[in-house]
Structure 1
């Protein structure tokens, strides 16, 4: 393990979309709720709309217009909005029923590789959640999905919602570590970019796009990163072989740490294009960005 990788003592994971499949979990709960109450609801469309209100609900907290409010409360407020948009009166249901539906976010399924991958990583580093979820939500979710966290850094612990800088800096502080000793692993580039700006190392994990299976994929490996072969191989061995290069075993963990600035020049090298794959020389933990196999050469 090289000197840069040795400094990483904790790998913290974004949760929704990175470790658990929120779209499937929420859609299933909505379908069950609709079936019990004779409602005509599309679970997937409902889940997507509910999630669309996620960031706007947190923004007044980030800007200071609203006191810190746990995500469970924001989800409950957004649930009532989405029900009304679908022509369903929230007042027609017992609070217990609405609470059950709102706690769908506590019962999300993990991606198949998540629990075994985390267990392998936990042999060598501290693994934990760094999420906008509140502690009650994340602890119940971990129990439901079998996530072997060493630590949970919830938003009601940091009193900050990502991508606020304080969320990342306070997470490192609570662990008694410097920011460069902490890595954030996530499927969301905005989260990774903010973490890197706060001084954390970053790792990209490709997942199906949160905008839905028919939407254009918006994620890509961060333009700065290198392999940590030990962490990568731990995650890789935990996964079953996937169906293709975007979801298969050898593409789970995309990039981490920072490339030296001069390696940005690889983006302009012949044969490279906008979607890159790290290629690592044998015996080295450094890599270069290159085009996926079979891709047409980039010119200019």
Structure 2
């Protein structure tokens, strides 16, 4: 594999492995779930304009449930289980409890069908020609496998935090990735559209790349990470030097 020089502060690192967050970074989480939710609501006589508030509530609850698992306030449950629980709680809280159980079950599995951002299939493939490209996600192995196959996403390896029964940003997830693949932190870069993910990864000595995506929070300050890229094409260009 080729290595890309990355300037970080006063030093230049030689990166050979890219660890990618997936939800929001490589696939369009909010847009995909909004579309799937609109379809379910329309098919079951509920105002489709309620899709966005339902999705936002759903994802907020999901984040809270993962935090409870990570902090040991709750027993381990897989991402798929927590996704179903969060959707049930969101629907109940918003007064949509009349939606059919099977429709909600199908909607929960929409996380296995998230659409890639338009640049993801092409530019992941391009990056995979020069770097070891690895998915490192809180999503389940099953979900990652299905959405990657459906979306034409090229990975050399797919890693889920369920292997260590916790969720990012727990340090155990990043240690797992480095250890299981025998990676040196100094030649590894975490790529994500979320500052919290990058800051946690940086604690392990890996380089960081912030990827801007529509609907995701922008970086709070220029220069906070080793690389800031507009999209995957921009990231590939910067890594190529």
Instruction: Mark yes or no: TM-score above 0.5.
Output: yes
Which residue of 145, 148, 159 corresponds with 2:151? 145
Q: Number of residues paired by the alignment?
A: 231
Higher helix fraction (1 or 2): 2
Structure with greater strand share of residues:
2
State the SS of the aligned residue for 2:134.
Answer: strand
- 4+ aligned runs moved over 4 Å, structure 1: 1-5, 217-222, 252-256
Call closer, same or farther: CA 1:73–1:143 in 2, change over 3 Å.
same
RMSD: 2.6
State the partner residue of 1:44: 52
What is the CA–CA distance in structure 2 between the aligned matches of 1:121 and 1:17, rounded to whole Å? Answer: 18
After TM superposition, the structure 1 = structure 2 runs for residues 116-127 of structure 1, keeping only pairs within 5 Å, are 116-127=122-133
Q: Does 1:64 align with 2:76?
A: no
Gap change, CA 1:137 and 1:53, over 3 Å in 2: same
Q: TM-score, normalised by structure 1?
A: 0.70
CA distance in 2, matches of 1:104, 1:66: 25
Contact kept in structure 1, 2:70 and 2:170, CA below 8 Å: yes
- Greater radius of gyration (CA): 1
1:1-300 → structure 2 map (5 Å cutoff): 2=5, 4-6=12-14, 8-41=15-48, 42-89=50-97, 93-94=100-101, 96-210=102-216, 217=218, 219-225=220-226, 235-236=232-233, 250=234
Segments of 5+ residues of structure 1 without an aligned counterpart are 212-216, 237-249, 257-284, 286-300
Judge conservation of contact 2:185–2:204 (CA < 8 Å) in 1. yes
Measure the CA separation in 2 of the matches of 1:143 and 1:195: 26
What 5-or-longer segments of structure 2 have no aligned partner?
7-11
Quote the Cα distance in structure 2 between the aligned partners of 1:123 and 1:188.
25
Q: CA deviation at 1:178?
A: 2.2
CA contact (8 A) 1:204 1:255 kept: no
